[in-house]
Structure formats: structure tokens, C-alpha cells
Structure 1
Amino acid sequence: MSIKIENEKQLAKFFDHTLLKAFATDDDLRALCKDAKEMGTAMVAINSYPVSVCKEYLKDCDVHVGAAIAFPLGQTTIASKVFEIKQAIEDGADEIDYVMNVGKVKAGQYDYIKEEMTQIVAACKAKNILCKVIFENCYLTKEEIKEVALIAKEVKPDFIKTSTGFGTGGATLEDVALMVKTVDGACQVKAAGGIRDWATCKQMIELGATRIGTSSSREILAGFLADQ
């Protein structure tokens, strides 16, 4: 996939600028939002509780607020995920990144994964909210990644996403390529987890990732500028 990044503003729009630590304070979140606003990122990626706080910090710009749902394990019921999503949207979330139930994938229970995805995508689309499904690829075989991507190709969330960044591994070039090929344009692919430099980011984008989840947005932008 050939994408020419012309300038740092264009690159920043690929970023979901991330702070998902349990110990994040309001001051940390304010700093995150200030950085995102200055860079012009697509989104700030946060847990669902501080959505209203970040929405207030970002009210005068076009940076989206993204809520991570059932994060980072995904081991809650479909009903509780839908409830958390509805609350996050009510609080001002523009985008949702939910963690699918990885255990159900490992057990081969793909009907459950499809039902979970269908209900969550419906809850998001009812409010015109972007929906991203987090696979957590470090725990999946290539065949399992492909099977879930095929479900996504049918259900059509806005994005499928490689990782939470809290598992045993993050985004890999091989996984991004597989996900992009499997969904074949039916939804977009977000690469997240361990992306900390421009060289890696560039490779992910060249493979077809259209969002990059990272807490290293400034470092990546600096690397891009140094490469020009």
C-alpha cells in the first residue's frame, strides 16, 4: 500500500495518542490532551472512566475521545460491554475500542465472537460512533486471527486492532499484513502495541494500517521530521 506522508500534520492524524495506565491522574490526562491538541492527533485513547474529563479538555478542537472497553482483558459479558459503551458515549466518547473475549476464540466459539461484535457494532452505529475490535494477537494463532477478521469482514466494525499493549506482545508486521488482506477493505486496521519509532510506524502504514495506537506520538513525529 503506497501512502505518501507529506508532512507531520498528516502523520499525526494516524495517531491514537494513548494513556491507559491505572495510575493516570487528571494532570496526566490534561497533559495527554494538550499534547494531542498541539500535534493534531486523530484521538486520545483512554479508559472509559475519564472520558468526560478528556472531552472537556478537548472541547475546542477536532481530536476525538476514544474509550477502551473491557480493557485490557476483555473478560466481561456482552451485556456489560454494551453498558460500558453506552455510558462512555453518554459521557462524550467519539470512538470505542473494545477487547473481544479472547478465551472464546481459543475455545473455537466463533458464534459468540460474532454475536459480541454484532451487538457492540450496533450499539456504536446507533450513535454514529466509530467502533474498533481489539484482537490481542499475541494470544492467537494466525488461523484464529484470520477467522476473527473474516467475522469482522461480515459484521463491519470500523476497525480491527492488533493489540491492547498490555499482553505478551504487540503489533507485528506479519499480523497487520494478514489482517489487511483478510478484511479486504471491509474495515480498516489499527496497529497498536510497541510502536515507538518512525521506522516501525512507517512499515505499519505501508502495510495498510490507517491508525496507529501509541504513547510515543511525539517521538515518532520527531523521527519522521529527522527523516525528511
Structure 2
Amino acid sequence: MAELSREELAAMIDHTILAPNASEADVRRLCGEAKEFGFASVCANPVWASVLADELQGSAVLACVVVGFPFGASATEVKAFEAKTAVAAGVQEVDMVINIASAIAEDRDALVADISAVAQACHDGAAKLKVIIETSELTDAQKVLACEAAVEAGADFVKTSTGYSSSGATAADIALMRKTVGPDIGVKASGGVRTREQALEMIEAGANRIGASKGIAIIGAGEASEGSY
């Protein structure tokens, strides 16, 4: 299993707050924690885009929001507009949820079209796109198809889960996703990663980013904030 220092592990974690009852004070607190501990980003709902940009300006921590969250069932044009608006507010990373029904139907063209529109909205503003495929809802063949579609559409990362479905990240899914996308696309493990051991298992399987609301506990710096992600 990978041996990483606290600082190295923190730099791979998206410090996450996606609860619908999260307040502005909660989001600002996570930004302070992320700067203190050196997390990769703070990931929040898009209503907080400008707050993230304000709090994280001048730091190495990236501002990240989700779009089409948590079901991925918004119209493509809505997802793209949501991403464009967030990037205009100063966000540097966007985590979008695919149209899960398209993946289950194995409709590659629909997946590529959905992801491409959001990728363009992100890349036009120099932001990166992570594509959430919601692995718990898909067969292995559908996971592969979704990852291939994400790569074709220009995504920068593929990501396991929203954290709001029946289960989250597994090492087996991470390994499958890494094998599918190759070495040049990021793979993010999210959903149910709560301990250092779980995080290291995901990294060993091929993840280079971890999404978690328990980042402080994962790096061994204290108790985690409450959260469902």
C-alpha cells in the first residue's frame, strides 16, 4: 500500500461539503480548513461558487462545484449553463453527474454529447471537468462505456460517485476506471471514503484524487466534520 505523508495525502483530497442544509459559514469554515491542511480543493454546491472563489483566492486550494447534482437528470443545456456560471464566478473545477439513464441504455452518443457541452463550458474558462458516472448504478460494461465517453468528450477526470446513491467508491471500480481511461486522465474516488486506510486503498487502485467530507480525519489531523459524502 502507498506510503504518503500527511501533506501528500491532503494534496489529493477534495474537502467536500454538499449537504443541502450547509450554510455560508459552513462553507467558509471548510475553506479555512482546506488552506490550513493543504487540501486539493473545496467542493460545494454551485450556489457557493462566489464564496469559494472569494475565500480561496490567492491560495493553492482550488474552488470546485458540482453540476447536475446529484441525479444527473438535468437537460444538457442546463448543466452547461450551470458550469459556465460557476466558472465565471471563479471556480476552477466542476464535477458533473452524467445522464445515468443514458449509461444504462448504453447510449454512447448521448453521453458524449452531454459531457462535451459541459467540458466546453469548463474549458472555455480554463476550468477542469470531473465526470461522475455513479458506479453503483451501472454494470462493469456500462462503467467502461461511461468512462470511454468521458474521455472522448474531453473530460479531465472520471469520478465514481455522488455519495448520494446506494453505495460509493470501491477499489475494484477505481482499478476498472483507471484501466479504461489510461494514465493521462484523472480518477477520483468519492462516496464512503472516511479513513486513511480507505483512501490509501483507492490510491493504490489508481485514484489520484479523493472526494470526502472526512478529510481532516483521513489525514489524521482531528475529527471529521459531519457529512454524508
Deviation at 1:60, TM superposition (A): 3.3
Deviation at 1:187, TM superposition (A): 1.0
1:106-151, Cα deviation, whole Å (9 max, x unpaired): 1222210011112221221222111100001110011100111122
Letter in 1 for 2:73: Q
In structure 2, how many angstroms separate the alpha carbons of the residues matched to 1:74 and 1:148?
Answer: 13
What is residue 174 of structure 1 aligned with on the other side? 172
Q: Is the 8 A contact 2:106 2:145 kept in 1?
A: no
What is residue 108 of structure 2 aligned with on the other side? 110
What is residue 226 of structure 1 aligned with on the other side? none
Q: How does 1:119-198 map to 2 (within 5 A)?
A: 119-198=117-196
What is residue 203 of structure 1 aligned with on the other side? 201
SS of the equivalent of 1:182 reads helix
Aligned partner (choices 27, 49, 52) of residue 50 of structure 2: 52
SS of the equivalent of 2:95 reads strand
1:170-221, Cα deviation, whole Å (9 max, x unpaired): 0011100000001112411000000000111001011110000001111111
In structure 2, how many angstroms separate the alpha carbons of the residues matched to 1:120 and 1:184?
Answer: 22
Percentage of identical aligned residues: 36
Calculate the TM-score normalised by the size of structure 1.
0.93
Alignment pair present for 1:31 and 2:39: no
SS of the equivalent of 1:29 reads helix
Letter in 2 for 1:208: G
Deviation at 1:153, TM superposition (A): 3.1
Q: Which blocks of at least 5 consecutive residues in structure 2 are unaligned?
A: 222-229
Number of residue pairs matched? Answer: 222
Deviation at 1:3, TM superposition (A): 5.2
Q: Is the 8 A contact 1:156 1:187 kept in 2?
A: no
Aligned partner (choices 12, 33, 49) of residue 10 of structure 2: 12
What is residue 221 of structure 1 aligned with on the other side? 219
SS of the equivalent of 2:39 reads coil
SS of the equivalent of 1:113 reads helix
In structure 2, how many angstroms separate the alpha carbons of the residues matched to 1:149 and 1:76?
Answer: 20
Query: 1:3–1:128: structure 2 CA closer, same or farther, 3 Å change rule?
Result: farther
Letter in 2 for 1:179: M
Q: Is the 8 A contact 2:81 2:121 kept in 1?
A: no
Q: Is the 8 A contact 2:2 2:200 kept in 1?
A: no
SS of the equivalent of 1:157 reads coil
Q: Is the 8 A contact 1:12 1:39 kept in 2?
A: yes
Alignment pair present for 1:66 and 2:64: yes
In structure 1, how many angstroms separate the alpha carbons of the residues matched to 2:220 and 2:208?
Answer: 19
What is residue 226 of structure 2 aligned with on the other side? none
Question: Which stretch of the first structure deviates more once superposed, 190-199 or 48-57?
Answer: 48-57
CA RMSD between the two structures: 1.5
SS of the equivalent of 1:128 reads coil
Q: Which blocks of at least 5 consecutive residues in structure 1 are unaligned?
A: 224-228
Letter in 2 for 1:170: G
Letter in 2 for 1:76: S
